[in-house]
Structure 1
Amino acid sequence: MHKKCSEIAKMLGIEWDSNVEDRIVSGVCFDSRQVKENDLFVPLLGERVNGHRFGQQVADAGASCILWNENEEDVPQGICVLKVKNTAVAFRELARSYRDLCGFKIVGITGSNGKTSTKDLVAGVLSAKYRVQKTSGNYNAEIGINYTICNFDENIDVGVVEIGMERMHEIEQLCEIVRPDIGIITNVGTAHLENLGSQENIAKAKCELIDSLSKDSVFIYNGDDRYLMKEIKNHVLPKTTLSYGEKTYNDCILTSFMQNEKGISFSTNLLNGINTPLLGKHQAFNGMAALLTAKQLGLDDEEIRRGFTLVEPTKWRTQLESLGPCKILNDVYKSNPQSALAALETFQELVSDEKIIVFGDMFDLGKDSAQIHYDLGKKVAQYDCDLLLCIGEMAKEIQRGASEAGVNAKWVASSEELVEILKPYLKKNCMILMKGSRGMHLDQVLDELKGV
């Protein structure tokens, strides 16, 4: 964003005071610790913190403009103040208005698994031809989406936006802001079972994306996903609707796949010889969504191939890291049964003298969580594993299922104990898979190992 304060006021329907200095806004921020010079700051009311408390602080830091709830006191000095009834609502309206003003296309991506990797792949491939920006990190809820869109440069060609959800109708509401020109659904998994109760309901929630698309939009989806295949029949699909997967009825069909430590190679019926520096067969599926997107936006085959080599993955997602002779497959951002199995499949294809798996709790799985963890433990027996280490209360069930299936499995009570067990392996020619939900803080365990 590069707007004057008066332009932002107009976007929000606020009468501009001509006596106020009309400064330039070059970015939008809602975290006072990250404010840069000439930012617009949006103070939000949280459960524990009222962002308005930091108004003068951000003004002193060089922010040029601030939204301000009209009932808040201690209005900051030395900054353009735009008073609104509710800063959260105004933030949403600013993102909507900015989206309307800018001419770039938006690719919106949702799904239980693979949203972030698909975002990275789509953005990387399209960057071979276009000016592209994407959601940073995991900013895929309303505040993050507002932040993402407001910080897209006005002169980009394509914005790639990740759309998350916790409940029914959330994607519907987020798409009122995003209004994607191309919508992608990667799959329907078991994440959010606790809120939505069944995979059928999760499919309904994900397919709210379809209803946000115009008849001239493009819809791309995983045609191998039975929940999606069943649910999309209940929706009016855009004229251009395309599927991908291994089944032969798909528009884009995976025909071959190979993997080594440097990345994956795969071919489809639409394009062969694709190479990208990501790991896992699931990334070939995500890559097919990117391939279909690229073809819809006019990239030729060589541009697409080159774009796949330009992909910049988000950290903590199936990244292979070396710690001396030991290699660690770092997949610690989140975990659910589908992504855990995908990590196991990826790990299986990597060659090493010794293999250790670390599993932490999987969150938001509802009333069947214990059984789901137990079943995952049972499935570990199908893969090469010299030692399985489990951490977290629910991970006790992973350990129990794995032990009953004949796996050498141990439950550990703390991250400190886990670090001590793993230390000797750093001197060996071995490979460690680390997988758990973000709240298990396995990234901190990895940081400890890096400091050994």
Structure 2
Amino acid sequence: MTKYPLRVDVNLSLDYLGRVFNDAQILSLKIPHITGVCLDSRAILPGDLFFALKGERDGHRFVEDALEKGARAVVVSENVTGKGISIKVKDTYAALVELASCWRTDWGKKIIAITGSNGKTTTKEIIYSILSAHVQTIKSPGTWNNHLGIPLTLLMIKNSHELAVLEMGMNHQGEIENYCQIAKPDIGVITNIGHAHIGELGSIEAIARAKAELFENLSSHGTAIVNLDDPRIEKIANQIKVKKIYVSMKPDRKADISLTKIGKLDSSRIQLNIKYGESILNLCGPFGNDYSRANLICALGVALICGVPHEVIQTGIDQISWPDKRYVKLTLGRGITLIDDTYNANPDSMKGAIKAMCEEHPGRKIVLLGDMKELGSYSRTFHQEVGRSAFEQGVNLLFAIGEFAKDYASGAINAGMKSKFSYVFTDRDEMLVSLMRDLQRGDTLLVKGSRGSQMEYFSEALKLKLPIERNR
């Protein structure tokens, strides 16, 4: 997976910094423009402005290092040593947020913000690709969806950009509201509301309230993209007064965007007829399951409100940069299909990925499952539910590893899977050996687990043992 250093290129004058920080002393400093904003001293480039943030490690400890590497100035909240210019503020994170928020306000164009329990990053990439085929657009890199990534993304925006696409993650109440205060989004997308982070938030209702903060904090002239296939999102939409664009995968819903026909073109591409406002789009792409089509219709809702002509949309779809390790299909040696979905997992995305695999692929279907994190007291129940769903969807072999591996297995066995087709491991090398022994030509294999489960170990090992023939 690509890791992006916490640094962005900028072009900031002293006059601008002095106005943002309300500090006349800055204007008297004899330094040229700031050419970058950096939060990690290891990534400093000459000309950068370094913010000494206090977190797990106090950034003030690295001020001297940042200056030695060529930082033009540092933003600090306490006295520091080192030869260079320091800008002292009460709170360095608040200063970063103020700078990003002012930059966003001065830019003054539309921002699209995306949240949801599943599909945020993929939907962001689809939206970005379609909008980029129409006007100059910028997006948050990778999964910059938190308290650091969002302000940095805002600082990446240039005057030449017409639109910006941000992703907003959350694991507690008030987090999305805070991000909205910084980014001031005009268009909001909630992809879905599921059980991710239920261990922290306590209930699906609390998760819905946290996600609702996006719609509730849109600008007065903003637009909510409402997924009618999720009743919780529909309920939230009924309680807000901004403009709404309705999307659905069901043709009988009164939606602005809806699927009307699905047909298969070849092994990797699907033909879709989609109601797009008053037009009908004929699109093709790798949308072979509900999992991916739900992301697409949300993206098309954004395209509609942004005025993207229907003839441009296919171009955008053809140029999508699909996120790494999110339901990425690879054809390995011996005709084995590997579905690498190892970036993260929660109960809904687990069941969705298993359902998608079983819908799309004939023949034997195998799952390699790691623990789902952040489920708290619900952990055993949800792991058992996923095991049961795997059997009911048509999975033939289940391999599980981790603290809750036995719960995956018991869920599948209680649903009817024979115990000889369900394997539990504590050692990943033993699990890999067992899997390689059982693999047959033409099998389809899904590998998935939460980030902390590090299930990419298996997908990377399989690619080495059975070299890739093609992907997507």
TM over 0.5: yes
- The match for 2:368 among 343, 355, 358 is 358
The equivalent residue for 2:83 is 77
Q: For residues 257 and 412 of structure 1, do their structure 2 counterparts lie closer, same or farther at Cα, with a shift above 3 Å needed? A: farther
* 1:383 to partner: Cα distance: 2.7
Write the distance in 2 (CA, Å) between the matches of 1:135 and 1:174.
13
Runs (5+) with no aligned partner, structure 1:
none
- The match for 1:59 among 40, 56, 67 is 67
* 1:433 to partner: Cα distance: 0.4
Q: For residues 450 and 181 of structure 1, do their structure 2 counterparts lie closer, same or farther at Cα, with a shift above 3 Å needed? A: same
The equivalent residue for 2:470 is none
- Whether the aligned pair in 1 keeps the contact of 2:339 and 2:447 (CA below 8 Å) is yes
Q: Secondary structure at the match of 1:2?
A: strand
CA deviations over 1:384-422 (Å, ceiling 9, x no partner): 333111111123201111122233111111222233233
Write the distance in 2 (CA, Å) between the matches of 1:215 and 1:304.
28
The equivalent residue for 1:306 is 315
CA deviations over 1:159-206 (Å, ceiling 9, x no partner): 100011111121111100111111111111011212222212211111
1:202-241 aligned within 5 A:
202-233=207-238, 235-241=239-245
1:345 aligns to 2:355 (yes or no): yes
Runs (5+) with no aligned partner, structure 2:
1-9, 466-472
* 1:322 to partner: Cα distance: 3.3
- The match for 2:37 among 15, 28, 34 is 28
- The match for 2:443 among 430, 433, 449 is 430
Write the distance in 1 (CA, Å) between the matches of 2:331 and 2:243.
47
- Whether the aligned pair in 1 keeps the contact of 2:101 and 2:182 (CA below 8 Å) is yes
* 1:265 to partner: Cα distance: 3.6
- Whether the aligned pair in 1 keeps the contact of 2:388 and 2:414 (CA below 8 Å) is yes
* 1:31 to partner: Cα distance: 2.1
CA deviations over 1:92-123 (Å, ceiling 9, x no partner): 11111111111331001111111111111110
Write the distance in 1 (CA, Å) between the matches of 2:28 and 2:255.
61
- Whether the aligned pair in 2 keeps the contact of 1:399 and 1:411 (CA below 8 Å) is yes
1:4 aligns to 2:9 (yes or no): no
Q: Which residue identity lines up with residue 275 of structure 2 in the other structure?
A: N
- The match for 2:333 among 310, 324, 341 is 324
- More displaced 10-residue stretch of structure 1: 408-417 or 21-30: 21-30
Write the distance in 1 (CA, Å) between the matches of 2:50 and 2:248.
41
- Whether the aligned pair in 1 keeps the contact of 2:368 and 2:448 (CA below 8 Å) is yes
Write the distance in 1 (CA, Å) between the matches of 2:109 and 2:399.
47
- Whether the aligned pair in 2 keeps the contact of 1:257 and 1:281 (CA below 8 Å) is no
The equivalent residue for 2:113 is 108
1:185-264 aligned within 5 A:
185-233=190-238, 235-246=239-250, 248-258=253-263, 261-264=267-270
Q: For residues 43 and 265 of structure 1, do their structure 2 counterparts lie closer, same or farther at Cα, with a shift above 3 Å needed? A: farther
Q: For residues 248 and 298 of structure 1, do their structure 2 counterparts lie closer, same or farther at Cα, with a shift above 3 Å needed? A: same
Write the distance in 1 (CA, Å) between the matches of 2:32 and 2:146.
30
Q: Secondary structure at the match of 2:17?
A: helix
- Whether the aligned pair in 1 keeps the contact of 2:273 and 2:283 (CA below 8 Å) is yes
Write the distance in 2 (CA, Å) between the matches of 1:425 and 1:15.
71
The equivalent residue for 1:450 is 463
The equivalent residue for 1:411 is 424
* 1:54 to partner: Cα distance: 1.7
- Whether the aligned pair in 1 keeps the contact of 2:63 and 2:80 (CA below 8 Å) is no
The equivalent residue for 1:148 is 153
Write the distance in 2 (CA, Å) between the matches of 1:316 and 1:221.
27
Q: For residues 61 and 258 of structure 1, do their structure 2 counterparts lie closer, same or farther at Cα, with a shift above 3 Å needed? A: farther
Q: Which residue identity lines up with residue 356 of structure 2 in the other structure?
A: T
Q: Which residue identity lines up with residue 80 of structure 2 in the other structure?
A: E
Write the distance in 1 (CA, Å) between the matches of 2:458 and 2:14.
45
- More displaced 10-residue stretch of structure 1: 123-132 or 383-392: 383-392
- Counting aligned pairs with the same residue, the percent is 32
The equivalent residue for 1:118 is 123
- Whether the aligned pair in 2 keeps the contact of 1:278 and 1:318 (CA below 8 Å) is no
Write the distance in 2 (CA, Å) between the matches of 1:278 and 1:36.
41
1:171-186 aligned within 5 A:
171-186=176-191
- Whether the aligned pair in 2 keeps the contact of 1:324 and 1:427 (CA below 8 Å) is no
Q: For residues 304 and 443 of structure 1, do their structure 2 counterparts lie closer, same or farther at Cα, with a shift above 3 Å needed? A: same
* 1:18 to partner: Cα distance: 4.7
TM-score, reference length from structure 1: 0.92
Write the distance in 2 (CA, Å) between the matches of 1:433 and 1:112.
20
TM-score, reference length from structure 2: 0.89
* 1:376 to partner: Cα distance: 1.2
Write the distance in 2 (CA, Å) between the matches of 1:414 and 1:278.
35
